[in-house]
Amino acid sequence: MTHHTLLVAIAAMAVVTAFCRVIPFLLSPKSRLLTLLSSDHPATKIIGPVLLVALAVVTLTEPILGSPNWSTLIPYGVGGLITTVVLRWSGSVGLAVVVAIVGFGLTEYCLSLLVPYSSA
């Protein structure tokens, strides 16, 4: 993932998060949209997991298609597995993402110790 792509992904997540946090203050108290957003409607409960899946697809596509080898696939697979397990266990999207990032980093670090990169 290039720095430009990473910055675009972070900016997109920031805009979506800010929009979700600010919109209730912009709507009138009698707004139908505000009622929907503040209820336990299934459409509002699925937003977090959907954003997580979208983020995973965007993050995984470029490295896996660009370099389909075990040193790439294993860390991303471990990160995806950790995300799934932690999300199922805790129900917290934020916790799942943070723990998965740590797991991804540790897996990549351990692999770099086991299989050093060739200098060729």
Range of the domain at 3: 1-41
Q: What is the pLDDT of residue 119?
A: 45
Give 7-35 pLDDT, tens digit per residue. Answer: 777 777 778 777 777 777 887 878 877 77
Q: Are residues 114 and 81 in the same domain?
A: yes
36 & 50 share domain: no
Do residues 59 and 37 share a domain?
no
Show the tokens assigned to 35. Answer: 């009622």
Under a CB-based contact definition with an 8 Å cutoff, are residues 44 and 36 in contact?
yes
Count of domains for the chain = 2
Shared domain for 61 and 117, answered yes or no, is yes
CA-based angle 69:70:76, to the nearest 5? 100
Do 23 and 55 have their domain in common? Answer: no
For 61-70, what is each residue's pLDDT tens digit?
777 777 777 7
- pLDDT value of residue 57: 75
* 85 — pLDDT class (breaks 50, 70, 90): very high
Residue pointed to by tokens 């799942």: 96
Q: Contacts by 87-91 with C-beta closer than 8 Å and gap 24+?
A: 87/49, 87/52
pTM exceeds 0.75 for this model: no
13, two tokens: 């997540």
- Are residues 18 and 56 located together in one domain of the fold? no
- 93 plus 65 within the same structural domain: yes
- Tokens coding 91: 């129900």
Residues 106 and 78 in one domain: yes
For the cut 60, the answer to whether the pLDDT of residue 118 exceeds it is: no
